[in-house]
Structure 1
Amino acid sequence: MTTITTRTVEYPADGLTMIGYLALPAGVDRRPAVLLGPEGMGLSDVERRRADALAELGYVTLAFDLHGGRYLGDPEEMLARCMPLLADSDRMRRIGHAALDELRTEPRTDPDRIAAIGYGTGGAIALELGRGGVNLRAIGTVNATTTGRPGEAARIRCPVWAGVGSEDPIMPPAQRNAFTAEMQAAGVDWRLAIYGGALHAFHHPPVDHPVVPGVGYHPQHAQRAWRDVVDLLAECLPVTEDLGA
């Protein structure tokens, strides 16, 4: 297994001191980078393990924070913070830009080759970065077929992949359809994967606290969605460019 190094990083955003998790591949050369956003509960070991896995594949990866170093295991507290956030495109972009700026300060990050991958609220932030015109190589979201302000999807300059469970009541068919219509009208290179029988947050292993209704883990589809994310990165952000392959 490739040796990686990890550390926490602090940066200001949304009036808070965010505590992100940076995972670096072996070596000293510049590499393509991934901004990794968590579900609404916030940064946890689930995202840290994903960051580690991406670093092992050769990507500089920053798993960003949403709540100033806190993990919101109380569904009511999580919704009270995330629902206003999800309704405010500019605020989401500011959180995303702060994390992106932190990722770009890492000397091993190739600033011209960055992708944004996110789950739930983190995925909505990734999409808003694209709608804001950020130069990304790819955007991937799971459980985040969110729409933006009219016309702004035309600023997205990279392929967009989205994955969602067929039985997700939080991102139901009407929401999925609105998202794909937005992408299509904007001329975005988009893909939507619907995982049959899966609920919201189907990718997230079970947690030891209450969750909002409609959430459920689906091990098979969790693995498939992860492979789909890795395939998106391999297509749009190949590490081999840095390795001379």
Structure 2
Amino acid sequence: MTTITTRTVEYPADGLTMIGHLALPAGADRAPAVLLGPEGLGLNDLQRRRADALAELGYVALAFDINGGRVLADPEEMLAHVTPLLASPDRMRDIGHAALDVLRAEPRTDPERIAAIGYGTGGIIALELGRDGVDLRAIGTINGLNTGRPGEAARINCPVWAGVGSEDPIMSRAHREAFTSEMQAAGVDWRFVVYGGALHAFHHPTVDHTVLPGVGHHPLHAERAWRDFLDLLAECLPLGEPAAAAAQPSS
């Protein structure tokens, strides 16, 4: 396994002190970089391991924070925090820009080659960065769809990949159709994958606390979605050598 370096980074955003996880690949040269956003419960060990897996491939990766260092395991507390956040594109963009500034300031980062991917809320933040006109090489989102303010999707200047579960009641058929219609009308290079039989947050391993209705793990599709993320990066943010296959980080 390739030796990587990791460290915790603290930075202000949304009135909070965010605590992100930065993973650096072996070597000293600049490398393409990935901004990795978490679901609404916040940055946890699973997202840290995903950042580490990206660094093992050769990317600089920053798993960013949205909850000021907290993991909101209680569904009611999580919704109380995330619902107003998702209703505010400007707040989401501020959180995304703050993390992006940290990633760009890292000396190992090639600032001209950055992609933004995320899960749930983190994926929606990646989309909002695109709608804000940020220069990204790719945007990817799993279980996180929204439609932006009128006309702003035309500012997305990179390919967009999105994936959801077919049985996801939170990212419903209406959400999917609104999102794909927005991308198509804006002339975005977009693609959309529906994972048959999967619920919301199918990418996240089963937890030992209460979850929202319609949420459930689907190990096979979790692995497939991770590979789809890697395929997006290999296409839009290629490394110096062909990207190697990487297994989905285990729980």
TM-score (norm 1): 0.98
Measure, in 2, the Cα distance between the counterparts of 1:70 and 1:216.
22
Map Cα deviations across residues 144-169 of structure 1 (whole Å, 9 max, x no partner). Answer: 12111111000000000000000000
**Which residue is 1:76 aligned to?**
76
State the match for 1:190 in structure 2.
Answer: 190
Q: 2: distance between equivalents of 1:240 and 1:120?
A: 30
What SS does the corresponding residue of 1:158 show, helix, strand or coil?
Answer: coil
Structure 1: distance between partners of 2:14 and 2:108: 26
1:157, 1:242 → 2: CA distance?
A: 24
Question: CA–CA distance in 1 between the matches of 2:151 and 2:181?
Answer: 12
**C-alpha distance in 2 between matches for 1:215 and 1:242:** 35
Inter-partner Cα distance in structure 1 for 2:207 and 2:6: 24
Alignment-mate amino acid for residue 135 of structure 2:
N
| 3-state SS of paired residue (1:125) | helix
What CA distance in whole angstroms lies between the structure 2 residues aligned with 1:111 and 1:210? Answer: 40
User: In the alignment, is residue 96 of structure 1 matched against residue 96 of structure 2?
Assistant: yes
Q: Distance in 2 between matches of 1:54 and 1:15?
A: 29
Q: Which amino acid aligns with 2:193?
A: A
For 2:56 and 2:190, how far apart are their aligned partners in 1?
27
* 1:37 match: 37
Instruction: Output aligned runs, 1:1-245, within 5 Å.
Output: 1-240=1-240
Change beyond 3 A, Cα 1:56–1:144 = same
CA contact (8 A) 1:131 1:155 kept: yes
Moved over 3 A (4+): none
Contact 1:141–1:162 (8 Å) recurs in 2:
yes
Output the TM-score relative to the length of structure 2. 0.95
Q: Name the amino acid aligned to 2:183.
A: M
- What is residue 246 of structure 2 aligned with on the other side? none
Q: Is the 8 A contact 1:37 1:126 kept in 2?
A: yes
What letter is aligned with 1:45? D
Deviations 1:56-93 (A, max 9, x none): 11000000001110000010010001000000000000
Deviation per CA, 1:75-134: give whole Å up to 9, x if none: 001000100000000000000000000101100000010000000000000000000000
**Which ranges in structure 1 are unaligned for 5 or more consecutive residues?**
none
Per-residue deviation, 1:242: 11
Counterparts of 2:237 and 2:164, CA distance in 1: 22
Deviation at 1:241, TM superposition (A): 6.9
Shift of 1:52: 0.6
The aligned amino acid for 1:102 is V
- Matched residue pairs, number? 243
Find the residue that maps to 1:240 and give its secondary structure.
coil
SS in 2 for 1:91: helix
1:31–1:242 CA contact under 8 A, matched in 2 = no
